[in-house]
Amino acid sequence: MTRRLRYGMVGGGPGAFIGDVHRTAAELDGLARIEAGAFSSDPERSAAKGAEIGLDAERTYGSFAEMAAAEAGRPPDRRLDFVIVVTPNHLHFDVARTFLEAGFHVVCDKPLTTTVSEAETLCRIVDAGDRVFALTHNYSGYPMIKDARALVREGRLGAIRRIQLEYFQGWLSTALEESGHPQAAWRTDPARAGVAGALGDIGTHAHHLARYVTGLEVEALCGDLTAFVAGRRLEDDASLLMRWSGGVRGTMTVSQVAAGEENGLALRVFGSEGSIAWHHSDAETLWLRTPDGRARARRRGHAWISPAAAGHPGFRPVTRRGSSRGSRTCTATSSPRSGRSTRGGRRTRARSTSPRWATGRAAFTSWSGRSKAAAAVSGSMRATRHPESQPRNGGSRRDEHTTDHAVHGPVGGHAARDAGRESGRLGV
């Protein structure tokens, strides 16, 4: 394709956080341009955002339904190529379904939906048509994560024994939602965020990295969920024991009340012949260690890194702090708390979704095959015909959205607990 892609956006109005991130990412390489949007359910606010970014008034809409109907009727030379969905979680299903049924490709911020039944409905819609549906689990776009995946899949670590995951943030250490902070308000509201708090917001990013790198599935887990901030309705801290396929063991610890932490995402995988370690604060480095005590720092630009990392589209070696000209990888990050960007810095906020497995007490849960609960937790459901597709139009300027719009990562599934009730397997 020689022309610039045309896209629209639903959500991301005045005061929103992730919409501008997606827009910057999509347009970073000059191959896409926003042409239309329904940025808010308030028509005036939507119009204000459209004017702010220079859209024609006739293509700024007061509702996503109005936008879908109008844009579907445009001639081919003006029709949108795809639509990005960046609304709060509870709206994802209706918006995505509307645009898929109107014939548009869709890029949806996670979670896919807040219930398993809705996720399965979207999967059926995609399977029945020819539209691409991309779900943004983005950390897998880092070149050194791709290198980690290659090392594991090539058997360099031997038999996998253990997976260690952690994700620490501190931005919700106080009752920020009570101050009117828009991001804190909806992310801690079960009606808009779903049934999961910290696990839903950031836990799935950690889980997705482990699944992406190792190819393993969660078979059982034990979870201890806590809301440390008084009055908070969703958990802000969680610790999980995890049993993965093939007898692999692991843990995952996530918190949004780890005071002083910014975006402490880390992955470690231990095998019989070696181990790897990656930390988001040094995303350009992957550590490979062997039983004899040797440790090698694998970085972009080294001749020995895997072709998957070395040849990743749009990536070139840059300095440790990065350069917006040198890479699509995150080089300007943002904090939802401050609303400020820091070029080359690490102030960032990631979002994810994952089921609320237990509340204030431990409970083991097991799954087998492709049950609804397993699909929600392990991301086994696919919402596309195009596994491993890469975005044609960019990565991102912040660490959260560096990357691949992963089309087969963890599927929404805030309501795995609901699915568990259906299957009789969830002991919470």
DSSP secondary structure letters along 362-402: --EEE--TT-HHHHHHH------S-TT---TT---SSGGG-
Query: pLDDT tens for residues 54-65?
Result: 999 999 999 999
> What number is the average pLDDT over the span 259-288?
97
Tell me what the mean pLDDT of segment 206-222 comes to.
97
Distance CA 234, CA 356 (A): 9
> The dihedral of CA 361, 362, 368, 369: what is its sign?
positive
407 or 142: whose pLDDT is higher?
Answer: 142
Beta strand 275-279 pairing with 160-168: unpaired
Sheet containing 32-38: which strands, arranged edge to edge?
32-38, 5-11, 82-86, 105-109, 133-136
Indicate the pLDDT class of residue 200, thresholds 50, 70 and 90. confident
pLDDT computed for residue 332 by the predictor: 28
User: What pLDDT is recorded for position 220?
Assistant: 97
Mean of pLDDT values over 254-268: 97
Nearest CA to 392 out of 343, 306, 328 is that of 328
Q: Name the average pLDDT for the chain.
A: 78
User: Would you say residue 313 has pLDDT above 90?
Assistant: no
Residues paired with residue 73 on neighbouring β-strands, in sequence order:
none
CATH of 142-380+409-423 among 2.70.210.12, 2.40.50.140, 3.30.420.40, 3.30.360.10: 3.30.360.10
User: Taking residues 125-131, what's their average pLDDT?
Assistant: 95
Q: Report the 10 Å Cβ neighbour count for 44.
A: 10
Tokens (6 digits) for 387: 């596994």
Decide if pLDDT at 333 tops 90. Answer: no
- pLDDT of residue 419 exceeding 50, the answer is no
What's the Cα-to-Cα distance from 297 to each of 244, 266, 278, 340, rounded to whole Å? 27, 15, 10, 32
Q: Give the pLDDT band of residue 314 (cuts 50, 70, 90).
A: low
Is 241 a residue whose pLDDT tops 60? yes
**288/307: higher pLDDT:** 288
* Residue 68 confidence (pLDDT) above 90: yes
pLDDT higher than threshold 60 for residue 417: no
Beta bridge partners of 107: 84, 134
Note the Cα 319 to chain centre separation in Å: 25
What is the β-pairing status of strands 275-279 and 264-271?
antiparallel
Is the model more confident about 17 or about 43? 43
Cβ-contact 262, 400 below 8 angstroms:
no
Dump pLDDT digits (tens) for 341-398: 333 333 333 333 333 322 222 222 322 222 332 233 333 233 333 333 333 333 333 3
Q: By C-alpha distance, which of 425, 424, 417, 426 is closest to 199?
A: 417
What is the mean pLDDT of the segment spanning 105-121? 92
Q: How confident is the model at residue 315 (pLDDT cuts 50, 70, 90)?
A: low
At 186, the pLDDT band (50, 70, 90 cuts) reads confident
Class of domain 5-136: alpha beta
| Residue 222 pLDDT level (bands cut at 50, 70, 90) | very high
pLDDT band, very low/low/confident/very high, at 16 (cuts 50, 70, 90) = confident
Distances (CA, A) of 258 to 55, 170, 182, 236, 291: 40, 4, 20, 9, 33
pLDDT of residue 111: 83
Cross-strand bridge partners of residue 220 = 243, 366
Q: Return the higher-pLDDT residue of 160 and 21.
A: 160
Given a cut of 50, whether residue 72 has pLDDT beyond it is yes
Dihedral of CA 330/24/64/4: which sign? negative
Backbone angles phi, psi at 208, to 5 degrees: -65, -40
- The gap between the terminal CA atoms of the chain, to the nearest Å, is 51
Flag whether pLDDT at 338 surpasses 60: no
**For residue 312, what pLDDT is reported?**
58
Q: How many CA atoms lie within 13 A of 399 on its CB side?
A: 26
The mean pLDDT of 201-214, rounded to a whole number, is 94
pLDDT above 50 (res 30): yes
All structural domains of the chain with their residue ranges: 5-136, 142-380+409-423
- In a 3-state reduction of DSSP, which class is residue 295? strand
CB burial of residue 118 (10 Å; 0-12, 13-18, 19+): buried
